Chain A
Amino acid sequence: MTVDGESDETLMVRYGRGDAAAFGLLYRRHEMRVWRYLERNVDNRATADELMQEVWFAVARDAPRYEPAARFTTWLFTIAHNRMIDSVRTNRRHASLETLGYEADAVLGQLTADPRAGPLGAAVARDQAGALMRALEKLPREQREAFLLQVEGDLSVEEVASITDSSFETVKSRLRYARAKLREFLKEHA
Protein backbone atom coordinates (compact mmCIF):
# COMPACT_ATOMS: atom_id res chain seq x y z
CA MET A 1 0.00 0.00 0.00
CA THR A 2 1.36 3.35 -0.98
CA VAL A 3 0.90 6.37 1.19
CA ASP A 4 1.25 9.78 -0.42
CA GLY A 5 3.10 11.15 2.58
CA GLU A 6 5.94 8.72 2.24
CA SER A 7 9.32 10.12 1.35
CA ASP A 8 10.88 9.55 -2.04
CA GLU A 9 13.55 7.45 -0.43
CA THR A 10 11.04 5.17 1.27
CA LEU A 11 9.12 4.75 -1.94
CA MET A 12 12.27 3.93 -3.79
CA VAL A 13 13.24 1.26 -1.29
CA ARG A 14 9.75 -0.17 -1.51
CA TYR A 15 9.91 -0.27 -5.25
CA GLY A 16 13.27 -2.01 -5.04
CA ARG A 17 11.49 -4.75 -3.12
CA GLY A 18 8.82 -5.14 -5.76
CA ASP A 19 6.15 -2.54 -4.95
CA ALA A 20 5.08 -1.23 -8.35
CA ALA A 21 2.68 1.27 -6.80
CA ALA A 22 5.60 3.01 -5.11
CA PHE A 23 7.20 3.60 -8.47
CA GLY A 24 3.97 5.01 -9.85
CA LEU A 25 3.85 7.58 -7.11
CA LEU A 26 7.49 8.50 -7.52
CA TYR A 27 7.00 8.93 -11.24
CA ARG A 28 4.00 11.18 -10.81
CA ARG A 29 5.89 13.30 -8.31
CA HIS A 30 8.89 13.90 -10.51
CA GLU A 31 7.75 13.33 -14.05
CA MET A 32 7.38 16.94 -15.10
CA ARG A 33 10.49 18.16 -13.34
CA VAL A 34 12.65 15.59 -15.09
CA TRP A 35 10.87 16.24 -18.34
CA ARG A 36 11.48 19.97 -18.22
CA TYR A 37 15.09 19.47 -17.23
CA LEU A 38 15.66 17.18 -20.20
CA GLU A 39 13.53 19.00 -22.72
CA ARG A 40 15.04 22.40 -21.94
CA ASN A 41 18.53 21.05 -22.06
CA VAL A 42 18.26 19.22 -25.36
CA ASP A 43 15.65 21.53 -26.87
CA ASN A 44 13.99 18.67 -28.66
CA ARG A 45 10.87 16.87 -27.63
CA ALA A 46 11.61 13.62 -29.40
CA THR A 47 15.06 13.44 -27.86
CA ALA A 48 13.65 14.41 -24.48
CA ASP A 49 11.05 11.67 -24.84
CA GLU A 50 13.78 9.12 -25.49
CA LEU A 51 15.89 10.40 -22.65
CA MET A 52 12.89 10.38 -20.36
CA GLN A 53 12.43 6.68 -20.95
CA GLU A 54 16.12 5.97 -20.52
CA VAL A 55 16.22 7.84 -17.22
CA TRP A 56 13.20 6.12 -15.71
CA PHE A 57 14.20 2.74 -17.05
CA ALA A 58 17.51 3.23 -15.27
CA VAL A 59 15.71 4.22 -12.09
CA ALA A 60 13.59 1.09 -12.27
CA ARG A 61 16.51 -1.15 -13.08
CA ASP A 62 18.84 0.19 -10.39
CA ALA A 63 16.22 0.44 -7.66
CA PRO A 64 17.43 -2.67 -5.77
CA ARG A 65 20.88 -1.10 -5.53
CA TYR A 66 19.58 2.29 -4.42
CA GLU A 67 20.78 3.29 -0.99
CA PRO A 68 18.88 6.10 0.67
CA ALA A 69 22.10 7.75 1.83
CA ALA A 70 21.49 10.69 -0.49
CA ARG A 71 18.26 12.35 -1.53
CA PHE A 72 16.33 10.56 -4.20
CA THR A 73 16.15 13.69 -6.32
CA THR A 74 19.92 13.98 -6.30
CA TRP A 75 20.17 10.42 -7.53
CA LEU A 76 17.41 10.93 -10.05
CA PHE A 77 18.90 14.06 -11.54
CA THR A 78 22.33 12.48 -11.59
CA ILE A 79 20.92 9.82 -13.86
CA ALA A 80 19.15 12.45 -15.93
CA HIS A 81 22.32 14.52 -16.20
CA ASN A 82 24.38 11.54 -17.30
CA ARG A 83 21.84 10.54 -19.93
CA MET A 84 21.58 14.05 -21.20
CA ILE A 85 25.36 14.42 -21.44
CA ASP A 86 25.58 11.11 -23.28
CA SER A 87 22.99 12.36 -25.67
CA VAL A 88 24.88 15.55 -26.31
CA ARG A 89 28.15 13.70 -26.75
CA THR A 90 26.73 11.30 -29.28
CA ASN A 91 25.78 14.31 -31.35
CA ARG A 92 22.16 13.76 -31.22
CA ARG A 93 20.42 16.32 -33.28
CA HIS A 94 19.56 19.36 -31.31
CA ALA A 95 16.72 21.48 -32.38
CA SER A 96 16.19 24.83 -30.78
CA LEU A 97 12.85 26.36 -30.06
CA GLU A 98 13.51 28.63 -32.98
CA THR A 99 14.07 25.82 -35.45
CA LEU A 100 11.16 23.91 -34.03
CA GLY A 101 8.83 26.84 -34.15
CA TYR A 102 5.78 24.71 -33.63
CA GLU A 103 7.16 23.63 -30.29
CA ALA A 104 7.87 27.15 -29.22
CA ASP A 105 4.44 28.21 -30.27
CA ALA A 106 2.90 25.32 -28.43
CA VAL A 107 4.75 26.21 -25.28
CA LEU A 108 4.33 29.89 -25.49
CA GLY A 109 0.71 29.62 -26.47
CA GLN A 110 -0.01 28.05 -23.14
CA LEU A 111 1.69 30.75 -21.17
CA THR A 112 -0.59 33.36 -19.80
CA ALA A 113 -0.12 36.09 -17.31
CA ASP A 114 -0.59 35.16 -13.72
CA PRO A 115 -3.11 37.55 -12.16
CA ARG A 116 -1.55 36.97 -8.75
CA ALA A 117 1.94 37.83 -9.94
CA GLY A 118 4.06 40.42 -8.11
CA PRO A 119 6.55 42.88 -9.56
CA LEU A 120 7.75 40.36 -12.09
CA GLY A 121 4.33 38.91 -12.63
CA ALA A 122 4.00 40.62 -15.92
CA ALA A 123 7.02 38.72 -17.10
CA VAL A 124 4.87 35.67 -17.34
CA ALA A 125 2.87 37.21 -20.12
CA ARG A 126 3.10 35.51 -23.44
CA ASP A 127 5.93 37.63 -24.82
CA GLN A 128 7.76 37.73 -21.60
CA ALA A 129 7.45 34.02 -21.10
CA GLY A 130 8.73 33.52 -24.60
CA ALA A 131 11.63 35.81 -23.86
CA LEU A 132 12.40 33.88 -20.72
CA MET A 133 12.49 30.60 -22.59
CA ARG A 134 14.65 32.05 -25.32
CA ALA A 135 16.93 33.54 -22.73
CA LEU A 136 17.23 30.17 -21.09
CA GLU A 137 17.92 28.56 -24.41
CA LYS A 138 20.70 30.99 -25.15
CA LEU A 139 22.51 30.41 -21.91
CA PRO A 140 25.72 28.43 -22.15
CA ARG A 141 24.92 24.79 -21.66
CA GLU A 142 26.68 24.53 -18.28
CA GLN A 143 24.89 27.59 -16.91
CA ARG A 144 21.54 26.49 -18.23
CA GLU A 145 21.98 23.02 -16.80
CA ALA A 146 23.07 24.30 -13.42
CA PHE A 147 20.06 26.58 -13.31
CA LEU A 148 17.64 23.83 -14.38
CA LEU A 149 19.12 21.37 -11.92
CA GLN A 150 18.69 23.80 -9.09
CA VAL A 151 15.23 25.00 -10.02
CA GLU A 152 13.68 21.81 -11.35
CA GLY A 153 15.54 19.41 -9.10
CA ASP A 154 15.31 21.69 -6.08
CA LEU A 155 18.95 20.91 -5.49
CA SER A 156 21.55 22.79 -3.50
CA VAL A 157 24.72 24.19 -5.00
CA GLU A 158 26.62 21.32 -3.44
CA GLU A 159 24.31 18.79 -5.01
CA VAL A 160 24.53 20.41 -8.42
CA ALA A 161 28.30 20.43 -8.09
CA SER A 162 28.27 16.77 -7.24
CA ILE A 163 26.02 15.85 -10.14
CA THR A 164 27.94 17.84 -12.71
CA ASP A 165 31.26 16.84 -11.25
CA SER A 166 32.21 20.48 -10.77
CA SER A 167 33.50 22.50 -7.88
CA PHE A 168 31.19 24.36 -5.57
CA GLU A 169 32.52 27.74 -6.68
CA THR A 170 32.23 26.90 -10.33
CA VAL A 171 28.59 25.96 -9.94
CA LYS A 172 27.91 29.03 -7.86
CA SER A 173 29.45 31.15 -10.57
CA ARG A 174 27.40 29.44 -13.28
CA LEU A 175 24.24 30.02 -11.33
CA ARG A 176 24.98 33.70 -10.82
CA TYR A 177 25.68 34.23 -14.48
CA ALA A 178 22.58 32.33 -15.48
CA ARG A 179 20.33 34.33 -13.20
CA ALA A 180 21.91 37.61 -14.18
CA LYS A 181 21.31 36.95 -17.86
CA LEU A 182 17.77 35.81 -17.32
CA ARG A 183 17.05 38.83 -15.23
CA GLU A 184 18.41 41.06 -17.93
CA PHE A 185 16.18 39.46 -20.53
CA LEU A 186 13.20 39.84 -18.30
CA LYS A 187 13.88 43.52 -17.77
CA GLU A 188 14.23 44.06 -21.48
CA HIS A 189 10.83 42.53 -22.03
CA ALA A 190 9.15 44.13 -19.10
Chain B
Amino acid sequence: MNDVPTDDEEPDEVDDAYRRASALDSSGPSDLARRRILNHAAQLAAERGAENAAAGISRRGAASQSWRRPAIFGTLAAAALAGLLITPRFFEPQVSVTAATSDARVARPSAAMPAAPTDQSEGRPLGMPANEQPQSPRAAEQGVPEPQAFARNAAPSTNSAAQLAAKNAPARAPSMAGARSSVEAGVSATAGDRVNAEASRVQAMSGARSAAPPAAPAGLFGPAAELRRAAETGDIAKLQMLLDKPPHVEKPNGGDQRGGVDKQSLVEVRDAGGRTALMLATLQGQDRAVDVLLAHGADPNAADAHGATPMQVAMAAGRESIAAALQRAGAR
Protein backbone atom coordinates (compact mmCIF):
# COMPACT_ATOMS: atom_id res chain seq x y z
CA MET B 1 0.00 0.00 0.00
CA ASN B 2 3.04 2.22 -0.13
CA ASP B 3 2.20 3.37 -3.61
CA VAL B 4 -1.19 4.67 -2.59
CA PRO B 5 -1.26 8.47 -3.00
CA THR B 6 -1.76 10.45 0.12
CA ASP B 7 -4.80 12.58 0.63
CA ASP B 8 -3.07 15.86 1.22
CA GLU B 9 -5.59 17.72 -0.86
CA GLU B 10 -9.29 17.99 -0.32
CA PRO B 11 -10.88 15.14 -2.25
CA ASP B 12 -14.11 17.14 -2.43
CA GLU B 13 -12.54 19.42 -5.03
CA VAL B 14 -12.49 16.63 -7.55
CA ASP B 15 -15.90 15.43 -6.52
CA ASP B 16 -17.32 18.93 -6.76
CA ALA B 17 -15.84 19.43 -10.20
CA TYR B 18 -17.31 16.15 -11.31
CA ARG B 19 -20.73 17.01 -9.87
CA ARG B 20 -20.79 20.39 -11.51
CA ALA B 21 -19.92 18.84 -14.82
CA SER B 22 -22.58 16.17 -14.34
CA ALA B 23 -25.20 18.71 -13.37
CA LEU B 24 -24.68 20.41 -16.68
CA ASP B 25 -24.94 17.16 -18.54
CA SER B 26 -28.54 16.85 -19.63
CA SER B 27 -28.11 13.43 -21.15
CA GLY B 28 -30.22 10.69 -19.71
CA PRO B 29 -32.05 7.52 -20.56
CA SER B 30 -34.20 7.59 -23.63
CA ASP B 31 -37.90 8.35 -23.35
CA LEU B 32 -38.63 4.85 -24.55
CA ALA B 33 -36.57 3.30 -21.77
CA ARG B 34 -38.20 5.58 -19.23
CA ARG B 35 -41.71 4.68 -20.42
CA ARG B 36 -40.92 0.99 -20.39
CA ILE B 37 -39.57 1.16 -16.88
CA LEU B 38 -42.50 3.08 -15.46
CA ASN B 39 -45.09 1.02 -17.33
CA HIS B 40 -43.52 -2.21 -16.19
CA ALA B 41 -43.42 -1.02 -12.61
CA ALA B 42 -47.03 0.13 -12.74
CA GLN B 43 -48.14 -3.20 -14.14
CA LEU B 44 -46.34 -5.12 -11.40
CA ALA B 45 -47.80 -2.81 -8.79
CA ALA B 46 -51.31 -3.43 -10.05
CA GLU B 47 -50.77 -7.18 -9.97
CA ARG B 48 -49.34 -6.97 -6.49
CA GLY B 49 -52.17 -4.82 -5.26
CA ALA B 50 -54.69 -7.37 -6.47
CA GLU B 51 -52.73 -10.23 -4.94
CA ASN B 52 -52.41 -8.45 -1.62
CA ALA B 53 -56.11 -7.69 -1.54
CA ALA B 54 -56.97 -11.31 -2.21
CA ALA B 55 -54.45 -12.53 0.34
CA GLY B 56 -55.79 -10.10 2.91
CA ILE B 57 -59.35 -11.37 2.48
CA SER B 58 -58.15 -14.94 2.68
CA ARG B 59 -56.14 -14.28 5.81
CA ARG B 60 -58.97 -12.46 7.50
CA GLY B 61 -61.35 -15.26 6.64
CA ALA B 62 -59.00 -17.92 7.87
CA ALA B 63 -58.30 -16.03 11.08
CA SER B 64 -61.92 -15.55 11.90
CA GLN B 65 -62.92 -19.10 11.11
CA SER B 66 -59.90 -21.03 12.26
CA TRP B 67 -61.31 -21.70 15.72
CA ARG B 68 -64.96 -21.72 14.81
CA ARG B 69 -64.96 -24.56 12.38
CA PRO B 70 -63.51 -27.20 14.66
CA ALA B 71 -65.63 -25.93 17.53
CA ILE B 72 -68.84 -26.06 15.58
CA PHE B 73 -67.91 -29.36 14.07
CA GLY B 74 -67.06 -30.82 17.45
CA THR B 75 -70.24 -29.54 19.04
CA LEU B 76 -72.39 -30.89 16.27
CA ALA B 77 -70.58 -34.20 16.40
CA ALA B 78 -70.98 -34.43 20.17
CA ALA B 79 -74.63 -33.53 20.04
CA ALA B 80 -75.32 -35.91 17.20
CA LEU B 81 -73.39 -38.71 18.89
CA ALA B 82 -75.33 -38.21 22.06
CA GLY B 83 -78.53 -38.37 20.12
CA LEU B 84 -77.33 -41.41 18.29
CA LEU B 85 -76.60 -43.30 21.49
CA ILE B 86 -79.74 -42.37 23.32
CA THR B 87 -82.33 -42.22 20.61
CA PRO B 88 -82.55 -45.97 19.98
CA ARG B 89 -83.67 -46.50 23.55
CA PHE B 90 -86.81 -44.56 22.96
CA PHE B 91 -87.58 -44.48 19.36
CA GLU B 92 -88.19 -46.52 16.35
CA PRO B 93 -85.49 -47.09 13.81
CA GLN B 94 -85.37 -44.50 11.16
CA VAL B 95 -83.93 -44.11 7.73
CA SER B 96 -82.84 -40.89 6.21
CA VAL B 97 -81.41 -39.85 2.96
CA THR B 98 -78.00 -39.76 4.56
CA ALA B 99 -78.15 -43.49 5.26
CA ALA B 100 -77.03 -44.13 1.74
CA THR B 101 -73.72 -42.52 2.47
CA SER B 102 -73.32 -43.65 6.02
CA ASP B 103 -73.12 -47.16 7.26
CA ALA B 104 -73.14 -46.05 10.85
CA ARG B 105 -76.51 -44.41 10.82
CA VAL B 106 -78.21 -46.54 13.41
CA ALA B 107 -81.68 -47.82 13.24
CA ARG B 108 -82.64 -50.59 15.59
CA PRO B 109 -85.68 -52.62 14.69
CA SER B 110 -88.02 -53.35 17.48
CA ALA B 111 -90.65 -55.96 17.54
CA ALA B 112 -92.41 -54.39 20.46
CA MET B 113 -92.56 -51.00 18.91
CA PRO B 114 -93.84 -50.87 15.37
CA ALA B 115 -91.60 -49.23 12.97
CA ALA B 116 -92.57 -46.01 11.36
CA PRO B 117 -92.55 -45.46 7.66
CA THR B 118 -89.57 -43.75 6.24
CA ASP B 119 -89.10 -40.05 6.58
CA GLN B 120 -89.86 -39.30 3.02
CA SER B 121 -92.89 -41.47 2.74
CA GLU B 122 -94.50 -39.74 5.67
CA GLY B 123 -93.22 -36.29 5.16
CA ARG B 124 -91.62 -36.44 8.56
CA PRO B 125 -88.61 -34.27 9.10
CA LEU B 126 -85.38 -35.98 8.38
CA GLY B 127 -83.52 -36.88 11.49
CA MET B 128 -86.55 -36.28 13.64
CA PRO B 129 -87.61 -39.22 15.74
CA ALA B 130 -90.27 -41.30 14.12
CA ASN B 131 -92.82 -40.40 16.71
CA GLU B 132 -92.45 -36.66 16.43
CA GLN B 133 -94.30 -34.66 13.86
CA PRO B 134 -93.70 -31.16 12.72
CA GLN B 135 -96.46 -28.89 13.80
CA SER B 136 -96.96 -26.01 11.51
CA PRO B 137 -98.82 -22.93 12.57
CA ARG B 138 -100.81 -23.07 9.38
CA ALA B 139 -101.82 -26.65 10.03
CA ALA B 140 -102.99 -25.72 13.48
CA GLU B 141 -104.97 -22.84 12.10
CA GLN B 142 -106.70 -25.10 9.65
CA GLY B 143 -107.70 -27.61 12.23
CA VAL B 144 -105.37 -30.33 11.28
CA PRO B 145 -105.42 -33.01 13.94
CA GLU B 146 -102.74 -32.67 16.50
CA PRO B 147 -100.02 -35.28 16.57
CA GLN B 148 -101.38 -36.74 19.80
CA ALA B 149 -104.48 -37.67 17.96
CA PHE B 150 -102.44 -39.41 15.37
CA ALA B 151 -100.59 -41.21 18.03
CA ARG B 152 -103.73 -42.38 19.70
CA ASN B 153 -105.15 -43.61 16.43
CA ALA B 154 -101.94 -44.89 15.05
CA ALA B 155 -102.31 -47.72 12.63
CA PRO B 156 -99.87 -50.56 12.58
CA SER B 157 -97.02 -49.71 10.34
CA THR B 158 -95.56 -51.83 7.62
CA ASN B 159 -92.45 -53.87 8.11
CA SER B 160 -90.55 -52.27 5.31
CA ALA B 161 -88.88 -49.73 7.48
CA ALA B 162 -88.03 -52.33 10.07
CA GLN B 163 -86.46 -54.49 7.44
CA LEU B 164 -84.50 -51.64 6.06
CA ALA B 165 -83.49 -50.64 9.52
CA ALA B 166 -82.39 -54.15 10.33
CA LYS B 167 -80.27 -54.08 7.24
CA ASN B 168 -78.52 -51.00 8.51
CA ALA B 169 -78.36 -52.03 12.11
CA PRO B 170 -74.93 -53.69 12.47
CA ALA B 171 -72.96 -50.53 12.29
CA ARG B 172 -73.45 -49.24 15.78
CA ALA B 173 -69.90 -49.14 16.96
CA PRO B 174 -68.60 -45.62 17.35
CA SER B 175 -66.09 -44.84 14.69
CA MET B 176 -64.90 -42.00 12.54
CA ALA B 177 -67.53 -42.95 10.02
CA GLY B 178 -70.08 -42.97 12.76
CA ALA B 179 -69.07 -39.60 14.01
CA ARG B 180 -69.12 -38.25 10.50
CA SER B 181 -72.55 -39.61 9.84
CA SER B 182 -73.70 -38.25 13.18
CA VAL B 183 -72.71 -34.83 12.10
CA GLU B 184 -74.40 -35.38 8.79
CA ALA B 185 -77.49 -36.45 10.65
CA GLY B 186 -77.33 -33.37 12.81
CA VAL B 187 -76.94 -31.13 9.84
CA SER B 188 -79.51 -32.83 7.68
CA ALA B 189 -81.99 -32.78 10.53
CA THR B 190 -82.10 -29.03 10.45
CA ALA B 191 -82.52 -28.70 6.74
CA GLY B 192 -84.79 -31.68 6.59
CA ASP B 193 -87.04 -30.22 9.24
CA ARG B 194 -87.78 -27.26 7.09
CA VAL B 195 -88.33 -29.25 3.93
CA ASN B 196 -90.59 -31.81 5.49
CA ALA B 197 -92.46 -29.35 7.62
CA GLU B 198 -93.33 -27.60 4.43
CA ALA B 199 -94.40 -30.89 2.93
CA SER B 200 -96.66 -31.49 5.92
CA ARG B 201 -98.15 -28.07 5.47
CA VAL B 202 -98.95 -28.80 1.88
CA GLN B 203 -100.49 -32.09 2.81
CA ALA B 204 -102.59 -30.52 5.49
CA MET B 205 -103.83 -27.79 3.21
CA SER B 206 -104.79 -30.16 0.48
CA GLY B 207 -106.49 -32.56 2.82
CA ALA B 208 -104.45 -35.36 1.43
CA ARG B 209 -103.41 -36.69 4.78
CA SER B 210 -105.16 -39.95 4.40
CA ALA B 211 -102.27 -42.23 5.12
CA ALA B 212 -101.90 -43.61 8.58
CA PRO B 213 -99.82 -41.37 10.79
CA PRO B 214 -96.61 -42.71 12.17
CA ALA B 215 -96.84 -44.78 15.23
CA ALA B 216 -95.54 -43.11 18.31
CA PRO B 217 -95.63 -43.69 21.99
CA ALA B 218 -97.97 -41.49 23.88
CA GLY B 219 -96.46 -38.51 25.63
CA LEU B 220 -93.80 -37.74 23.11
CA PHE B 221 -95.97 -35.23 21.35
CA GLY B 222 -97.53 -32.29 22.89
CA PRO B 223 -96.68 -28.87 24.15
CA ALA B 224 -93.13 -29.68 25.17
CA ALA B 225 -92.25 -31.02 21.75
CA GLU B 226 -93.99 -28.05 20.18
CA LEU B 227 -92.12 -25.77 22.49
CA ARG B 228 -88.82 -27.28 21.47
CA ARG B 229 -89.68 -26.95 17.82
CA ALA B 230 -90.80 -23.38 18.28
CA ALA B 231 -87.56 -22.64 20.10
CA GLU B 232 -85.52 -24.33 17.44
CA THR B 233 -87.25 -22.60 14.56
CA GLY B 234 -87.50 -19.25 16.28
CA ASP B 235 -91.31 -19.23 16.23
CA ILE B 236 -91.66 -16.63 18.94
CA ALA B 237 -95.43 -16.33 18.72
CA LYS B 238 -95.85 -20.03 19.27
CA LEU B 239 -93.26 -20.01 22.00
CA GLN B 240 -95.03 -17.21 23.83
CA MET B 241 -98.38 -18.87 23.45
CA LEU B 242 -97.13 -22.17 24.84
CA LEU B 243 -95.31 -20.56 27.70
CA ASP B 244 -98.10 -18.18 28.64
CA LYS B 245 -100.82 -20.79 28.52
CA PRO B 246 -99.33 -24.25 28.66
CA PRO B 247 -102.20 -26.68 27.94
CA HIS B 248 -100.70 -29.64 29.66
CA VAL B 249 -97.39 -30.93 30.80
CA GLU B 250 -95.47 -33.91 29.62
CA LYS B 251 -93.96 -36.04 32.23
CA PRO B 252 -90.44 -37.14 31.60
CA ASN B 253 -91.61 -40.76 31.83
CA GLY B 254 -93.80 -40.22 28.84
CA GLY B 255 -97.12 -39.68 30.50
CA ASP B 256 -99.26 -36.62 30.00
CA GLN B 257 -100.67 -34.60 32.77
CA ARG B 258 -103.52 -32.84 31.16
CA GLY B 259 -104.82 -29.71 32.65
CA GLY B 260 -101.76 -29.09 34.76
CA VAL B 261 -100.24 -25.73 34.04
CA ASP B 262 -96.58 -25.97 34.90
CA LYS B 263 -94.49 -23.63 32.82
CA GLN B 264 -91.30 -24.55 34.60
CA SER B 265 -91.73 -28.20 33.81
CA LEU B 266 -92.58 -27.39 30.22
CA VAL B 267 -89.34 -25.60 29.50
CA GLU B 268 -87.33 -28.28 31.22
CA VAL B 269 -88.64 -31.20 29.25
CA ARG B 270 -85.89 -32.59 27.07
CA ASP B 271 -85.71 -34.40 23.81
CA ALA B 272 -84.02 -37.73 23.23
CA GLY B 273 -80.62 -36.10 23.29
CA GLY B 274 -81.31 -34.55 26.64
CA ARG B 275 -81.61 -31.14 25.03
CA THR B 276 -83.94 -28.57 26.43
CA ALA B 277 -85.73 -26.03 24.31
CA LEU B 278 -83.10 -23.54 25.39
CA MET B 279 -80.32 -25.77 24.12
CA LEU B 280 -82.07 -26.26 20.79
CA ALA B 281 -82.63 -22.55 20.42
CA THR B 282 -78.94 -21.99 21.20
CA LEU B 283 -77.84 -24.59 18.69
CA GLN B 284 -79.90 -22.92 16.00
CA GLY B 285 -78.85 -19.42 16.95
CA GLN B 286 -82.36 -18.28 17.78
CA ASP B 287 -81.50 -15.25 19.86
CA ARG B 288 -85.04 -14.16 20.55
CA ALA B 289 -86.18 -17.64 21.46
CA VAL B 290 -83.31 -17.87 23.92
CA ASP B 291 -84.37 -14.59 25.49
CA VAL B 292 -87.99 -15.71 25.77
CA LEU B 293 -87.06 -19.04 27.28
CA LEU B 294 -84.72 -17.47 29.78
CA ALA B 295 -87.39 -14.96 30.69
CA HIS B 296 -89.70 -17.85 31.42
CA GLY B 297 -87.27 -19.52 33.74
CA ALA B 298 -85.38 -21.90 31.48
CA ASP B 299 -82.34 -23.31 33.24
CA PRO B 300 -79.28 -21.78 31.50
CA ASN B 301 -77.07 -24.56 32.84
CA ALA B 302 -79.16 -27.51 31.71
CA ALA B 303 -76.64 -29.77 30.01
CA ASP B 304 -77.59 -32.25 27.35
CA ALA B 305 -76.96 -35.97 27.48
CA HIS B 306 -73.40 -35.37 26.45
CA GLY B 307 -72.75 -32.89 29.21
CA ALA B 308 -72.66 -29.87 26.93
CA THR B 309 -74.28 -26.75 28.34
CA PRO B 310 -75.95 -24.00 26.31
CA MET B 311 -73.09 -21.66 27.17
CA GLN B 312 -70.52 -24.09 25.82
CA VAL B 313 -72.53 -24.51 22.65
CA ALA B 314 -72.98 -20.77 22.24
CA MET B 315 -69.26 -20.12 22.76
CA ALA B 316 -68.22 -22.89 20.43
CA ALA B 317 -70.56 -21.66 17.73
CA GLY B 318 -69.47 -18.08 18.18
CA ARG B 319 -72.96 -16.95 19.14
CA GLU B 320 -71.87 -14.06 21.26
CA SER B 321 -75.25 -12.47 21.83
CA ILE B 322 -76.68 -15.75 23.07
CA ALA B 323 -73.66 -16.34 25.26
CA ALA B 324 -74.16 -12.91 26.78
CA ALA B 325 -77.83 -13.58 27.41
CA LEU B 326 -76.99 -16.90 29.02
CA GLN B 327 -74.36 -15.27 31.16
CA ARG B 328 -76.82 -12.67 32.33
CA ALA B 329 -79.16 -15.47 33.28
CA GLY B 330 -76.47 -17.09 35.40
CA ALA B 331 -74.96 -19.57 32.99
CA ARG B 332 -71.59 -20.90 33.94
**Could you tell me which A residues sit within 8 Å of B by CB distance?**
15-20, 23-24, 27, 31-32, 35-36, 39, 45, 48-50, 52-53, 56-57, 59-61, 63-64, 103, 106-107, 110-112, 114, 117-121, 123-124, 128-129, 132-133, 136, 147, 151-152, 169, 172-173, 175-177, 179-180, 182-183, 186
Pick from B21, B29, B42, B44: contact of A111, CB below 8 A. Answer: B21
Q: Residues of B contacting A59 with CB < 8 Å?
A: 41
Query: Across chains A and B, which 8 residue pairs bring their CB atoms closest together, nearest first?
Result: A18-B49, A20-B45, A18-B48, A180-B5, A60-B41, A56-B37, A23-B41, A20-B42
- Interface hit among B6-14, B179-187, B235-243: B6-14
Report whether B18 and A136 are in contact in the complex, using a CB–CB cutoff of 8 Å: yes
**Complex CA distance for A36 and B18, rounded to whole angstroms:** 11
Pick from A16, A107, A173: contact of B48, CB below 8 A. Answer: A16
Report whether A32 and B28 are in contact in the complex, using a CB–CB cutoff of 8 Å: yes
Q: Residues of A contacting B17 with CB < 8 Å?
A: 120, 123-124, 128, 132, 182, 186
A53/B4 contact (C-beta < 8 A), A35-B28, A36-B25 known: no
Report whether B20 and A61 are in contact in the complex, using a CB–CB cutoff of 8 Å: no
CB distance from B5 to the nearest CB of A (A): 4
Show 20 A/B contacts (Cβ-Cβ < 8 Å), sorted by A: A15-B45, A17-B48, A18-B51, A20-B45, A31-B28, A31-B34, A36-B22, A45-B27, A49-B29, A52-B33, A53-B36, A60-B37, A60-B41, A61-B44, A107-B25, A107-B27, A111-B24, A124-B20, A172-B4, A175-B11
**Complex CA distance for A120 and B18, rounded to whole angstroms:** 10
Report whether B21 and A15 are in contact in the complex, using a CB–CB cutoff of 8 Å: no
**Complex CA distance for A23 and B45, rounded to whole angstroms:** 9
A20/B46 contact (C-beta < 8 A), A182-B18, A183-B9 known: yes
Q: Determine if B111 is an interface residue (Cβ-Cβ < 8 Å).
A: no
Report whether A15 and B29 are in contact in the complex, using a CB–CB cutoff of 8 Å: no
Contacts between chains A and B (CB distance < 8 A), count = 131
Report whether B29 and A20 are in contact in the complex, using a CB–CB cutoff of 8 Å: no
A53/B16 contact (C-beta < 8 A), A48-B29, A173-B1 known: no
Report whether B21 and A132 are in contact in the complex, using a CB–CB cutoff of 8 Å: yes
Q: Residues of B contacting A186 with CB < 8 Å?
A: 14, 17
Q: Determine if B26 is an interface residue (Cβ-Cβ < 8 Å).
A: yes
Measured CB to CB, the nearest residue on chain B to A59 is B41
A112/B45 contact (C-beta < 8 A), A53-B36, A176-B7 known: no
CB distance from B272 to the nearest CB of A (A): 56
**Given contact pairs A23-B41, A56-B40, A124-B20, a sample of 7 additional A-B residue pairs in the complex whose CB atoms are under 8 Å apart:** A23-B38, A60-B45, A110-B24, A111-B24, A124-B17, A173-B1, A177-B4
**Could you tell me which B residues sit within 8 Å of A by CB distance?**
1, 4-7, 9, 11, 13-22, 24-30, 32-34, 36-38, 40-42, 44-52
Pick from B13, B20, B37, B50: contact of A57, CB below 8 A. Answer: B37
Pick from A19, A20, A110, A183: contact of B13, CB below 8 A. Answer: A183
CB distance from B124 to the nearest CB of A (A): 56
**Complex CA distance for A186 and B12, rounded to whole angstroms:** 13
Measured CB to CB, the nearest residue on chain B to A22 is B45
Q: Residues of B contacting A151 with CB < 8 Å?
A: 15, 18-19
CB distance from A33 to the nearest CB of B (A): 9
Scoring B4, B19, B42 by chain A CB atoms within 10 A of each residue's CB, the highest score goes to: B4
Measured CB to CB, the nearest residue on chain B to A111 is B24
Pick from B11, B15, B24, B45: contact of A19, CB below 8 A. Answer: B45
CB distance from A80 to the nearest CB of B (A): 12
Q: Residues of B contacting A147 with CB < 8 Å?
A: 18
**Complex CA distance for A32 and B7, rounded to whole angstroms:** 29
A183/B27 contact (C-beta < 8 A), A20-B42, A151-B19 known: no
**Complex CA distance for A117 and B27, rounded to whole angstroms:** 22
Scoring B1, B20, B21 by chain A CB atoms within 10 A of each residue's CB, the highest score goes to: B21
A179/B25 contact (C-beta < 8 A), A53-B33, A56-B37 known: no
CB distance from A40 to the nearest CB of B (A): 9
Measured CB to CB, the nearest residue on chain B to A53 is B33
Report whether A114 and B20 are in contact in the complex, using a CB–CB cutoff of 8 Å: yes
CB distance from A128 to the nearest CB of B (A): 8
A111/B25 contact (C-beta < 8 A), A120-B17, A177-B5, A183-B14 known: yes
CB distance from B158 to the nearest CB of A (A): 67
Q: Residues of B contacting A120 with CB < 8 Å?
A: 13, 16-17
CB distance from A108 to the nearest CB of B (A): 9
CB distance from B35 to the nearest CB of A (A): 10
CB distance from B28 to the nearest CB of A (A): 5
**Complex CA distance for A169 and B4, rounded to whole angstroms:** 10
